[in-house]
Chain A
Amino acid sequence: MNPFTRFWNWIKSLPVHIILIGLCIIWLVPSLGLLVTSFRPVQDINETGWWTVFAKPKGFEEFKTYCASCHGEDGTAIATADLTDPDLVQNYRRSFNLLSSLERDIDGQPHMGDISVPDEQTAATIAAYMRRISGIEARPKFTLSNYIDAFVGYRGNKSYQQDCADGTQAVDLHCDVRDLTNPRGMGRAFLNSLFVSIPSTILPILFAAFAAYAFSWMDFKGRQWMFALLVGLQVVPLQMTLIPISRLYAQVGLNGTFLGIWLFHTGFGLPYAIYLMRNFMGSLPREIFESAYLDGASHWTAFYRLAIPLSVPAIASLAIFQFLWIWNDLLVALVFLGGQHPVLTYQIGNMVTSLGSGWHLLTAAAFISMALPMLVFLFLQRYFVRGLLAGSVKG
């Protein structure tokens, strides 16, 4: 290929790249905003947009206009007036201190030379900027304290670490390891989510394995229409069953218990789980079952020696799917667990509606809830996609 054709091909493929990369950026930016915000100090979050962390801090432009020509861009050019020296900047805590110093003459010359003295607003911005670069108002660009606060369920207006240092923490905080399981915190909610999700993933798969084996390798009356019914059951909206089940649970005392929610998720996970596993088991080569049977194997042996080990890929897809689905579920947790054992989604939903815009806590909490599914997804994407393609229309 000569250079010209190569160049022409490159031009022709350019729109494809622009559209695709553009879409990827649009898809990524919202999550990126959340991630960046969750690490910013709370004052910064409410003062400037998260995208400004990639730019110079606030006040840099003003500093450059008024001060940088003599003091240098980093403020250290004049050794006797080093603007990064905390002892010097200490004198300019208020903007009028700075202004009066700027209006005063230095060795008979105006301080500002030809440049006009900034107005009060600008002087305040510059003073704040100097306090920042000199480190007296040491507010780091990034902090972990949002995560700590979210984890222990801190709701004050300083931070958990500071309150604990001052001894002014709320009555339900102990400032030791016990706070990790504070009922209001995301730490406890994380454990609750795990405690809901793991059994609710294992149980339906266990039940479904047996049923799927029967549907694939056993002969009985009504097999055909029962399986068709199962396909139909997959799309029944779970809203349809919430009311009778919560009444039933109220009678037998299962409302607000883990057992109740495990059973509910098992019931709702089963149609899809059986469908997926039967499609997989049913497509295993028939000869191996025949020869096993000829060798005297019973159905039970064929089930747990052949069908189960061979179905591991299907089980993996199913497990990931069901786990993510339950981990991310809000409605069922809201109805059957509520505030008694708050899970992550419940806790965040609560924070959104009650807290308004405590963005530092909300973003950290949201990220805590998303970290595990994202890891699962990134490492086990293959199985996840396979589960999807096996035909999902789950309720």
Chain B
Amino acid sequence: MSKNVPGIMRQKPITPWLYLVPSLIVMFTFIVYPGVNTFYLSLRNADNTAWASTACKAGESCWGIFENYHYAITSEIMQTAFLNNIKWILIMVTGTVALGLLIAVLADRVRYESVAKSLIFLPMAISFVGAGVIWKFMYNYESGTNQIGLLNAIITALGGQPVSWLTEPQINTIALIVVGIWMWTGFCMTILAAGLRGVPEEILEAARVDGANEWMVFWKIMIPQILPTITVVITTMVINVLKIFDIVYVMTGGNYGTEVIANRLYTEMYKSYQPGRASAIAVVLILVIIPAMIMNIRRFNEQEATR
């Protein structure tokens, strides 16, 4: 990196810091300090007057100073949240990446490419809250035959029974994930399409001339070529999904078994007034994300090496 700076542009040792200090102060105050503080708070009791171990009850299992983590890892509601987050990761990441890839590959072959891509991408521009309203209306449930929600109208028109999408256990989490897929497929599509554009045309042509069909070209050439891009998309999506909050908050409030980690954190902090527990959940969240963080830095270092 430093080889990039022209040698004649040496400056007084103080100058760089004049440019950097405003940013450093703000980032320290709003990211580094609170991060460390959250870790400290996670070891304290609810009103931050003593260590968390004082919250232990006699006769029950206790993790001492890590009592908040006891709650954050083993309590029933958090177990539900973990399980749901895993569902979210599995279904949403697979869904967005697979659909994004499909659309990126197919759109390349048609004349209305830009229109199709814009349509798929448009949900990215709106808020989760807006998407929540859109889909809550899609999922609307009435008990009779007169349905104003499109999905139940289709089901009743085909002779089925209407489904209460957002309160039916098992179905409701999937219903929420569908909203996530609807919003984020455009993101995956855009990044993957850029990756595909980087695959040299000659390789594809050579394979086709050698008699490979489109299916083989896709699996044997395109996929291996854009594997790094796919990895990036998957890591980014996993991080995004772990932090998912708005959709759940707006559509079910985490009720009916749809709880996720980030919504639980909000509930513990601002509805149950348990900052210790909320902090412990936050620390658990960052621990889960750290591997992705390391991957990010490693990828960055590789990029820097080839600059």
Q: Which residues of A contact B (CB under 8 A)?
A: 13, 16-17, 19-21, 23-24, 27-31, 33-34, 37, 45-51, 207-208, 210-211, 213-214, 216-220, 223-224, 227-228, 231-245, 247-248, 263-264, 266-268, 270-271, 274, 282, 286, 289-290, 293-294, 299, 303, 324, 327-331, 334-335, 344-345, 348-349, 352-353, 357, 359, 362-363, 365-366, 369-370, 373-374, 376-378, 381, 384-385, 388-389, 391-393, 395
Contacts and interface: CB of A to CB of B under 8 A. Distances in A.
Nearest to B125: A377
A152 to B, nearest CB: 19
Contacts of A49: 147-150, 153
Interface string B107-142: 101100001101111111111111011111110100
A370 B127 contact: yes
Contact of B282 (A17, A31, A237, A324): A237
Given A267-B30, A270-B26, A232 B296 contact: yes
B116 A20 contact: yes
Contacts of A391: 232
Interface in B165-206: 182, 185, 187, 190-191, 194
Nearest to A268: B30
B243 A237 contact: yes
B31 A223 contact: no
The main secondary structure of chain A at its interface with chain B is helix
B177 to A, nearest CB: 15
B235 to A, nearest CB: 7
Contacts of A263: 26, 29-30
B270 A335 contact: yes
B6 A293 contact: yes
Given A381-B118, A388-B191, A240 B242 contact: no
11 contacts: A27-B123, A31-B123, A31-B134, A47-B148, A49-B153, A237-B262, A348-B133, A352-B129, A366-B134, A370-B127, A395-B243
B130 A369 contact: yes
B30 A243 contact: no
Interface in B274-307: 275, 278-279, 282-283, 285-286, 289, 292-293, 296-297, 300-301, 307
Interface string B1-37: 1101110111101011101101110110111111101
Which 7 pairs from chain A and chain B are nearest by CB? A267-B30, A328-B127, A241-B34, A377-B125, A244-B37, A244-B34, A214-B19
B296 A234 contact: yes
